[in-house]
C-alpha cells in the first residue's frame, strides 16, 4: 500500500469578488503518495493552480480557504494539518520541504538580482547556509545540478541575460536548492518553446529519480502527463471528477468529461484520429450548475445528475470516479 505524503481532504476555496462568490474549488480530496509524480489535469480555470497553492496557504485576497484539511506526513513520522499551522510554521515548510516551480520563469525571477543571489537566497531564508555569500557559492553547484551551462559565470548573470529555458532551469534550481520532499510544478513548460519543454521535462524526471522527491505536476497537456506521471487527478469546474493511474485514465476513462478531454487532444499513447470538441462552455463558478457540474455538457445527463452532487467512488483498485453512471 503506497504511503501518502499529503492527504487533501474536502478542500474548498472561494473568492469574494464584487460580482459574487466564486467557488473556485469545492470539496476537493485526494492523496499524494511518497515518491510519485501525480498530475493534476483539467481545462484552464478548473481549479488546478488554486488547489496546489492552497496546500501551503498561498491563496491571496479576495480568496479564502473556507473548508478542508491538508495533512502533511513529516519525516519524523508526525502529521500536521498545514491549514492549521501558525504562520511561522508554514513558512518553515513552504520553499523548504514543499517547493514550487511556477509557470512563467520570466516573472518568477526578480530582474534586480543575479540568478546566483536568488538561488542562494532560497537557501539562506531557510538557514541552509550561514549567509548570502555562502548561498551564492553553493548556487554554482545547484545550477550545475539543473544543467545550466557554465554555472560559474552564469551565477553572476541577471535574468534578462538568460534565455527562457535557462531561466526555468534557475527557477527549478531555486526550487530544489533545499532538497524539498514535495515539488509542486505548476505548468512548468507552458511558457517555453517545444524543444526546450522536452529538456525541462527530462530534467524534472532526472531530478525526481536522483532525489526520490514527490512531484505534483499541474498541467493541461496530456502529452506531458503520459511522459511524466504515474497517477492522474482530473478536475472539472472546481471538483475532482476522476482519479486513476496513467494507464487507467488513458485506456479506460470512466468520467464522460475525461473521455471527452482525451478525444479533444491528440492521444499521445494512441493512434492519430479525428479530434472532437466538448459542446458548451466551462460554467460560471459564481453560479455553478446544480448536481453534477458537468451535466449541461454531458450526453448522459439524467434528472439525478441535475439534482444530486456525485461523490467519488472506487470502481476498480485505485480508480475513482464521481459520476452517477457508476
Ligand atoms: Fe454526466 Fe451525470 Fe455522470 Fe455528471 S453524473 S458526468 S451529468 S452522467
- Give the residue numbers spanning the domain of 205: 4-97+180-321
Taking only the tens of pLDDT, the chain with its 326 residues reads 689 999 999 999 999 999 999 999 999 999 999 999 999 999 888 999 999 999 989 999 999 999 999 999 998 889 999 999 998 899 999 988 999 888 777 788 899 999 999 999 999 988 888 999 999 999 998 898 888 889 999 999 999 999 888 888 898 888 888 889 999 998 887 766 777 777 788 888 888 888 788 999 998 888 888 888 999 999 999 999 999 999 999 999 999 999 998 887 766 555 656 777 777 788 889 999 999 999 999 999 999 999 999 999 999 999 999 999 99
Q: At 120, phi and psi to the nearest 5?
A: -65, -40
For residue 188, tell me if it sits in a domain: yes
Cβ-based neighbours of 198, under 8 Å, separated by 6 or more: none
pLDDT given at position 230: 93
Question: Considering the domain boundaries, does residue 111 fall inside one?
Answer: no
Q: Flag whether 13 is in a domain.
A: yes
Pairwise CA distance, residues 27 & 293, whole Å: 13
Q: How far apart are the first and last CA of the chain?
A: 25
Q: H helices within the chain, ranges in order?
A: 48-55, 87-93, 105-108, 115-124, 132-145, 151-154, 164-176, 194-211, 222-228, 246-251, 256-264, 303-307
With a Cβ cut-off of 6 Å, ligand 1 is lined by 255-256, 292, 294-295, 298, 300-301, 305, 310, 323-325
119: which 3 cell numbers?
A: 538561488
Which segments of 219-302 does DSSP mark as H helices, in order?
222-228, 246-251, 256-264
d(CA 303, CA 315): 22
Tell me, yes or no, whether 26 lies in a domain: yes
For residue 24, the domain's CATH number is 3.40.50.300
Residue to mutate, 260, 279, 302, 304, ligand 1, most ligand atoms under 8 Å from C-beta: 302
What is the distance between the alpha carbons of residues 163 and 101, in angstroms, rounded to a whole number?
Answer: 17
pLDDT in tens, 65-112: 999 999 999 988 899 999 999 988 999 999 889 998 887 777 888 999
d(CA 299, CA 255): 12
Residue 269 pLDDT: 57
**Any bridge partners for residue 177, and if so which?**
none
CA of 301 to the centre of ligand 1 (A): 5
> What is the 167 CA–ligand 1 centroid distance (Å)?
43
Cell reading at 300: 448522459
Contact 102/32 with Cβ under 8 angstroms?
Answer: no
Instruction: Please give the grid coordinates belonging to residue 90.
Output: 508554514
102 domain-assigned: no
The structural domain count of the chain equals 1
What is the reported pLDDT for 196? Answer: 74
Q: Which of 301, 302, 312, 315 to mutate to test the pocket of ligand 1 (most atoms within 8 A of CB)?
A: 301
What pLDDT is stored for residue 224 in this prediction? Answer: 84
Which helix (H) or strand (E) segment holds residue 184: the answer is strand 182-186
In this structure, is residue 162 part of a structural domain? no
Q: Give 94's DSSP letter.
A: B
Q: What is the pTM of this model?
A: 0.91
Residue 25 lies in a domain: yes
- Quick one: which atom of ligand 1 is closest to the CA of 257? 6
142 occurs within a structural domain: no
Amino acid at each position: 500500500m503506497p504511503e501518502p505524503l499529503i492527504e487533501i481532504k474536502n478542500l474548498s476555496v472561494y473568492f469574494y469578488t464584487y460580482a459574487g462568490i466564486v467557488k473556485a474549488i469545492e470539496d476537493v480530496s485526494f492523496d499524494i503518495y511518497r515518491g510519485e509524480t501525480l498530475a493534476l489535469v483539467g481545462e484552464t480555470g478548473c481549479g488546478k493552480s488554486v488547489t496546489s497553492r492552497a496546500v501551503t496557504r498561498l491563496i491571496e485576497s479576495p480568496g479564502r480557504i473556507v473548508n478542508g484539511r491538508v495533512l502533511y506526513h513529516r519525516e519524523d513520522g508526525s502529521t500536521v494539518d498545514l491549514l492549521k499551522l501558525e504562520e511561522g510554521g508554514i513558512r518553515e515548510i513552504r520553499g523548504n520541504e514543499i517547493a514550487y516551480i511556477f509557470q512563467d520563469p520570466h516573472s518568477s525571477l526578480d530582474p534586480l538580482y543575479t540568478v546566483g543571489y536568488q538561488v542562494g537566497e532560497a537557501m539562506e531564508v531557510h538557514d541552509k547556509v550561514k549567509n548570502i555569500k555562502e548561498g551564492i557559492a553553493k548556487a554554482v553547484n545547484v545550477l550545475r545540478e539543473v544543467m545550466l551551462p557554465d554555472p560559474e559565470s552564469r551565477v553572476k548573470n541577471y535574468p534578462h541575460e538568460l534565455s527562457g529555458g535557462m531561466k526555468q532551469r534557475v527557477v527549478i534550481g531555486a526550487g530544489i536548492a533545499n532538497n524539498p520532499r514535495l515539488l509542486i510544478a505548476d505548468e512548468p513548460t507552458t511558457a517555453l518553446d517545444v524543444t526546450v519543454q522536452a529538456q525541462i521535462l527530462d530534467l524534472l524526471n532526472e531530478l525526481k529519480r536522483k532525489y526520490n522527491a514527490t512531484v505534483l505536476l499541474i498541467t493541461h497537456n496530456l502529452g506531458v502527463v503520459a511522459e511524466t506521471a504515474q497517477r492522474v487527478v482530473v478536475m472539472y469546474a472546481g471538483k475532482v471528477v476522476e482519479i486513476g493511474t496513467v494507464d487507467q485514465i488513458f485506456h479506460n476513462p470512466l468520467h464522460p468529461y475525461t473521455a471527452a478531454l482525451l478525444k479533444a487532444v491528440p492521444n499521445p499513447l494512441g493512434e492519430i484520429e479525428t479530434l472532437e470538441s466538448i459542446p458548451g462552455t466551462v460554467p460560471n463558478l459564481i453560479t455553478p450548475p446544480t448536481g453534477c457540474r458537468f451535466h449541461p455538457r454531458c450526453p448522459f445527463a439524467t434528472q439525478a445528475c441535475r439534482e444530486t452532487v456525485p461523490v467519488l467512488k472506487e470502481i476498480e483498485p485505485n480508480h475513482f470516479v464521481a459520476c452517477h453512471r457508476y
